[in-house]
Amino acid sequence: MTDFILSLQLFAAGDAVNKTTSAADGNNLSAEMKTFYDKTLITLASPYLVHDQFGQKRDIPKNGGKIIEFRKFSSLPKALTPLTEGVTPTGNKLNVSAVTATVEQYGDYIEQSDLLELTAVDNTIVEATKQLSAQAGLTMDTIVRNEIVGGTNVLYCPKVSAEGTETAVTSRAAIDKTSLLRVKDVFKAAAELKAMNAPKIDGYYVGIIHPYVAYDLMQEAGNQWMEVQKYATPENMLKGEIGCLGGVRFVESTEAKIWNEGADGCAVFATLIIGADAYGVTSVNGGGIEHIVKQKGYGNDPLNQRSSIGWKGLKTAKRLVEEYMIRIESGSAFSGTAKSN
pLDDT tens column, 39-68: 666 677 777 789 988 988 887 766 666 788
Q: Is the pLDDT of residue 27 over 50?
A: no
The rounded distance, in Å, linking the Cα atoms of 89 and 91 is 5
Together in a domain, 139 and 191: no
Average pLDDT over every residue of 130-142: 90
CATH number at residue 6: 3.30.2400.10
The rounded distance, in Å, linking the Cα atoms of 200 and 195 is 12
CATH number at residue 179: 3.30.2320
Note whether residue 80 is domain-resident.
no
pLDDT tens column, 66-75: 788 777 766 6
- In this prediction the pTM is 0.79
Note whether residue 102 is domain-resident.
yes
pLDDT tens column, 165-207: 999 999 999 999 999 999 999 999 999 999 999 999 999 999 9
Q: What is the pLDDT of residue 23?
A: 35
Q: Is the pLDDT of residue 216 over 90?
A: yes
Together in a domain, 188 and 295: no
Phi-psi region of 320 (alpha: psi -120 to 50; beta: other; left: phi over 0): alpha
N-terminal to C-terminal alpha carbon distance within the chain: 30
Together in a domain, 142 and 284: yes
Q: Is the pLDDT of residue 22 over 80?
A: no
Note whether residue 270 is domain-resident.
yes
Note whether residue 81 is domain-resident.
no
Q: What is the pLDDT of residue 39?
A: 66
Q: What is the pLDDT of residue 73?
A: 64
Q: Of 31 and 148, which is predicted with more confidence?
A: 148
Q: Is the pLDDT of residue 279 over 70?
A: yes
Q: Is the pLDDT of residue 119 over 70?
A: no
Overall number of domains in the chain: 2
Together in a domain, 99 and 49: yes
Note whether residue 17 is domain-resident.
yes
Note whether residue 85 is domain-resident.
no
CB neighbour class for 36 (10 Å; exposed up to 12, middle 13-18, buried from 19): middle
Q: Is the pLDDT of residue 13 over 50?
A: no
Together in a domain, 161 and 141: no
Note whether residue 89 is domain-resident.
no
Quick one: which of 269, 275, 272 has its CA closest to 329? 269
Together in a domain, 172 and 286: no
Kindly provide the residue ranges of all beta strands, DSSP E only, lying in the chain, ordered along the sequence. Answer: 56-58, 67-73, 96-102, 104-113, 154-156, 159-160, 166-167, 205-209, 226-227, 241-245, 248-252, 258-259, 268-274, 279-282, 289-294, 306-315, 317-319, 325-330
Q: What is the pLDDT of residue 28?
A: 47
Q: In the chain, pLDDT over 90 holds for what percent of residues?
A: 43
Domain that holds residue 19: 2-75+95-146+280-318
Q: Is the pLDDT of residue 12 over 60?
A: no
> What are the angstrom distances between the C-alpha of 9 and each of 39, 42, 111, 293?
16, 19, 18, 14
Q: Is the pLDDT of residue 11 over 60?
A: no
Q: What is the pLDDT of residue 120?
A: 55
Together in a domain, 190 and 254: yes
Residue 136, SS3 per DSSP: helix
The set of residues, in sequence order, having a beta carbon less than 8 Å from that of 83 and lying 6+ positions away, is: 89
pLDDT tens column, 239-257: 889 999 999 999 999 999 9
Together in a domain, 105 and 211: no
Predicted confidence band of residue 112 (pLDDT cuts 50, 70, 90): confident
Q: What is the pLDDT of residue 246?
A: 92
The rounded distance, in Å, linking the Cα atoms of 119 and 127 is 15
> What are the angstrom distances between the C-alpha of 105 and each of 286, 314, 337?
14, 4, 34
Average pLDDT over every residue of 272-301: 82
CB neighbour class for 172 (10 Å; exposed up to 12, middle 13-18, buried from 19): middle
Predicted confidence band of residue 7 (pLDDT cuts 50, 70, 90): very low
Mean pLDDT for all residues in the chain:
81
The rounded distance, in Å, linking the Cα atoms of 221 and 218 is 5
Residues in the chain: 341
pLDDT tens column, 253-264: 999 999 999 999
| CB count in 10 Å sphere of residue 100 | 10
Note whether residue 10 is domain-resident.
yes
DSSP annotation of 322:
G
Q: Is the pLDDT of residue 295 over 90?
A: no
C-alpha 316 chain-centroid distance: 11
Together in a domain, 106 and 207: no
Residue 313 has phi, psi (to 5 degrees) of: -160, 155
Q: What DSSP string runs through 92-103?
A: ----EEEEEEE-
In DSSP terms, which residues pair with 159 in a beta bridge? Answer: 167
